[in-house]
Structure 1
Amino acid sequence: MHDESDGAAAEADATVQRERAVQVAIVDDHESVRLGIRAACREAGYEVVAACPSVSELWVALAGRSCDVIVLDLSLGDDFTVTENVQHARSMGAAVLVHSIADRVGLVREALAAGAAGVIPKSAATSTVMAAIAAVARGDVLNNLEWASAIDADREFGKAQLAQRERDVLHLYASGLPLSQVALKLNIKVSTAKEYLDRIRAKYVEVGRPARSKVELLRRAVEDGILALDEHGHVE
């Protein structure tokens, strides 16, 4: 016999989970920036779990705890590269939102290649930064002009050389279709569609831009102009 109290407790737990505040960590070597983002996050209803001048210090501060988003400056003045800092931050189980000066194109490119979820310039309005945090916490691809301009301006940003059928598969799959529907639309076998997807992933690994998950494939498709997002971050 089902215990109604158990059902009510489960529903209450689910509600708490849905309403859990976004957990944010901040890494910037300027105290004033850390304080400003912390205050804005709290006003937005986010929980700031740590604010540190380096990724290494964040690791110690979190002490094994996870968070949803790490807001990361690219120029920390430490002894680590941008790639190392982004990858170390991601290893903590969080999405990485780059918050830096937009004209540092090389560093932006390196951060995106290392797996950062997106870029937001330090000149952006606080409300824009808070919206970006919410977007990457949901797992959305952050679509902004700084991202696009950084890629367009940097000729060293390695685009995967995809064949037309590979681009077709990536376009449909990254748009949200399951592999079976991709195969149906292209009139190919599901196994063939999977082979194309494996090739696509391999090509992105070759240019230093791995795409292991569907969200990362969407990100690569946007970066390379295979897909476009509207102002709300939805596939056009």
Structure 2
Amino acid sequence: MTGKTIRVVVADDQTVIREALAMMLDLEEDIDVVAAAENGEVAVERVLALRPDVLLTDLRMPVMDGAAATAQVAEHAPDTAVIVLTTFDDETSILSALQAGARGYLTKDAGRGEIAAAIRAAAAGQSVLDRAVQARLVSAAVSRSVGTSMAEQQPSAGSAGAPPAATDGLTPRESEVLALIAEGLSNREIARRLFVSEATVKTHINNLFAKAHLRDRAHAVSYAYTHGLVTP
């Protein structure tokens, strides 16, 4: 950290959780909870008024849910990073949040250190998916693979093992880099895996982000899973 305090808005429909999160995060020297909200609508109002660095929000809330609030924040306050903190780890919930623009997704099993680290990462422009969320997405990919295995045995226009057709013109190497991003690898780890330089990896990432209109790595993860680029 450079000494800058990270300003956070916390949103959860349960008072005890809102207050516990605020108290817990205020113990961190570089994090300041500037407001709390009991639903997504109020969360958006707080974000637009205060322009915090991070919105830490639950997913299932009355009036406006976390995914809808995330989409509003992404559109009207794009400099505020959104992290979803929820009990729901199903594929639909995860992808709905990421597609709405969330930069991170954590389950409420996460401890203070993990949540604080995710806030710092999101404020720095990074994406954060906890291990449970990554495992759920991999499991969903496995299920889809099994469900389509019979169809893949039939002759088709595409060759076996090739990336799906609807990948916005990505090259095979760009698709490979995207899949590795979805597996949680850093640029350095991708470079080592592919035996190329980090500069080359960054070039591939810039190109695939432009082609697929991706906002960040979290959006890239969502794209990779919905387009079947991550395989078991």
Assess same fold via TM > 0.5. Answer: yes
Find the aligned partners of 1:123 and 1:138 in 2 and give their Cα distance: 23
Residue aligning to 2:187: 175
CA contact (8 A) 2:104 2:218 kept: no
Q: 1:72: how far off?
A: 0.9
Residue 165 (structure 1) aligned with residue 173 (structure 2): yes
1:4-43 matches, within 5 Å, as 18-43=2-27
**How many pairs were matched up?**
190
Query: Scaled by the length of structure 2, what TM-score is found?
Result: 0.65
Q: 1:169: how far off?
A: 6.5
Q: 1:63: how far off?
A: 5.0
Q: 1:137: how far off?
A: 1.4
Find the aligned partners of 2:126 and 2:13 in 1 and give their Cα distance: 27
Q: 1:107: how far off?
A: 1.2
Gaps of 5+ in 1: 1-16, 205-209, 227-236
The residue identity in structure 1 corresponding to 2:207 is: L
Which SS does the other structure have where 2:84 is aligned?
Answer: strand
Query: Scaled by the length of structure 1, what TM-score is found?
Result: 0.64
Find the aligned partners of 1:130 and 1:147 in 2 and give their Cα distance: 17
Find the aligned partners of 1:107 and 1:220 in 2 and give their Cα distance: 11
CA offsets per residue over residues 171-209 of structure 1, 9 Å max, x none? 79x8279xxx539x9xxxx9xx79x926x644x4xxxxx
Pair 1:175–1:110, CA change in 2 (3 A):
same
Pair 1:141–1:42, CA change in 2 (3 A):
same
What is the Cα-based RMSD across aligned positions, in Å? 3.8
Rg (Cα) greater in structure: 1
Find the aligned partners of 1:182 and 1:110 in 2 and give their Cα distance: 31
Pair 1:152–1:41, CA change in 2 (3 A):
same
Q: 1:143: how far off?
A: 4.1
Residue aligning to 2:133: 147
Pair 1:56–1:64, CA change in 2 (3 A):
same
Residue 70 (structure 1) aligned with residue 55 (structure 2): yes
1:62-101 matches, within 5 Å, as 62=47, 64-78=49-63, 80=64, 82-90=66-74, 91-92=76-77, 93-101=79-87
Find the aligned partners of 1:54 and 1:64 in 2 and give their Cα distance: 16
The residue identity in structure 2 corresponding to 1:182 is: T
Find the aligned partners of 1:132 and 1:21 in 2 and give their Cα distance: 15
CA contact (8 A) 1:55 1:88 kept: no
Find the aligned partners of 1:81 and 1:51 in 2 and give their Cα distance: 15
CA offsets per residue over residues 52-111 of structure 1, 9 Å max, x none? 012321333345331111111000022x45542211133323111110014343212210
CA contact (8 A) 2:59 2:85 kept: yes
Which SS does the other structure have where 2:136 is aligned?
Answer: helix
1:125-140 matches, within 5 Å, as 125-140=111-126
CA contact (8 A) 1:54 1:76 kept: yes
CA offsets per residue over residues 18-65 of structure 1, 9 Å max, x none? 322111101111110100010011101211111001232133334533
CA contact (8 A) 2:59 2:67 kept: no
